[in-house]
Amino acid sequence: MRFLPAESHDPNLLVGIDNTDDGSVYKLTDDIALIQSLDFFTPIVDDPYKFGQIAAANALSDIYAMGGEPKTALNIVAYPIEKLKHEILANILQGARDKVNEADAQIVGGHSIDDEEPKFGLSVTGIVHPDKFYKNIGAKPGDVLILTKPIGAGILTTALKRGQLTADENEQMTHFLTTLNKYAAECLRNVHPHAVTDVTGFGLLGHAYEMAHGSNVSFTIEQKNVPLLRGTKKLANENTFPAGAQANYKWLKDAISFSETISHVEKLILCDPMTSGGLLISLPEEDVQKFMTHVKRVANEVTVIGEVIERKEQTIYVK
């Protein structure tokens, strides 16, 4: 909500619209704060059940990125009830319910409208200790940057719409998009991250920029270490990009220094808008081994992709 004025005088509002954070945090007691977030979008895969799962995993991710535990969720439905079968909507809702249940949370209601274009998502409420939530700023020089899922989903879902995606590529993409960030987030409880966010519509570099800029530091990112979904490079070389990748690159290019070895295609991949992406974590170096030991048991694609340095002329340096 970057277009609303940042005005709040309530001391219990710990994170509000004056941040570019993943959700809001409101203190209820000395031990409990609410985290709230909302997300919805048009279908990005053909399978209604999987679409419901992806939408739920994506909405739940904001709670995990802030260190919280999801508790309740409300469905947000726009659906052409006279145009598409009721069974399709039922499958979307069942996919979402199953994924929310996997998160040990409950769907408690929602709202629907009749709309020409189907859209679905959830508003999620979680809880966290008022002194223990994560923000997307606070990264410190010397920290290590860790990414918990591969990128490229925007490219692959664009390819899916064009009939360019293989069954194997589709299966791997869907697996990662439906995987909850719950498991990586639980491993973070064993360490002390300085900043956490999830990678979604602004792409890896967009969310990295927000973290670095808000922390008044610079990042170095090793392009070769950034994990990609299977088929991403091949499809990118065929110019299969969503419009959001170009928009993200145009927004970021003056704040980022790319090595001469980085091709334009590789730059756009790093700007690819994600849905249900992984966590981007700024972690003290002394905590990295402990975190990686725990997280590798639940998420094989977790990768060290860079480091935090003192603020320099550019916000991000991609090597």
Range of the domain at 247: 144-318
Query: Which H, E and C letters describe the chain, residue by residue?
Result: CCCCCCCCCCCCEEECCCCCCCCEEEECCCCCEEEEEEEEECCCCCCHHHHHHHHHHHHHHHHHHCCCEEEEEEEEEEECCCCCCHHHHHHHHHHHHHHHHHCCCEEEEEEEEECCCCEEEEEEEEEECCCCCCCCCCCCCCCEEEECCCECHHHHHHHHHCCCCCHHHHHHHHHHHCCCCHHHHHHHCCCCCCEEEECCCCHHHHHHHHHHHHHCCEEEECHHHCCECCCHHHHHHCCCCCHHHHHHHHHHHHHEEECCCCCHHHHHHHCCCCCCCCEEEEECHHHHHHHHHHHCCCCCCCEEEEEEECCCCCCEEEC
Residue 8 domain flag: no
pLDDT for residue 1: 45
Are 99 and 163 part of one and the same domain? no
Q: Is 124 inside any structural domain?
A: yes
Q: Which pLDDT does position 18 carry in this prediction?
A: 74
CATH of the domain at 88: 3.30.1330.10
CATH at residue 159: 3.90.650.10
- pTM, 2 dp: 0.94
| 72/114 same-domain check | yes
| Beta sheet of 69-79, edge-to-edge order | 13-15, 24-27, 33-41, 119-128, 69-79, 106-114
Tokens of 310: 């003192």
Gap between the Cα atoms of 26 and 33, Å rounded: 5
Task: Look at residue 5 and tell me if it is in a domain.
Answer: no
Q: Does residue 6 sit within a domain?
A: no
Q: How many domains does the chain have?
A: 2
Domain boundary among 97, 128, 159: 128
* Cβ atoms of 49 and 87 closer than 8 Å: no
Indicate whether 97 and 174 sit together in one domain. Answer: no
Q: Based on the fold, state whether residues 154 and 229 are members of the same structural domain.
A: yes
Amino acid 4: pLDDT: 56
Say whether both 152 and 124 belong to one domain. no
**Which residue, 128, 162, 196, sits at the end of a domain?**
128
Could you read off the pLDDT tens digit of each residue along the chain, which spans 319 residues? 455 555 667 899 999 887 677 789 999 999 999 999 999 999 999 999 999 999 999 999 999 999 999 999 999 999 999 899 999 999 999 999 999 999 999 999 999 999 999 999 999 999 999 999 999 999 999 999 999 999 999 999 999 999 999 999 999 999 999 999 999 999 999 899 999 999 999 999 999 999 999 999 999 999 999 999 999 999 999 999 999 999 999 999 999 999 999 999 999 999 999 999 999 999 999 999 999 999 988 877 899 999 999 999 999 999 9
Residue 136 maps to a domain: no
pLDDT the model gives residue 21: 74
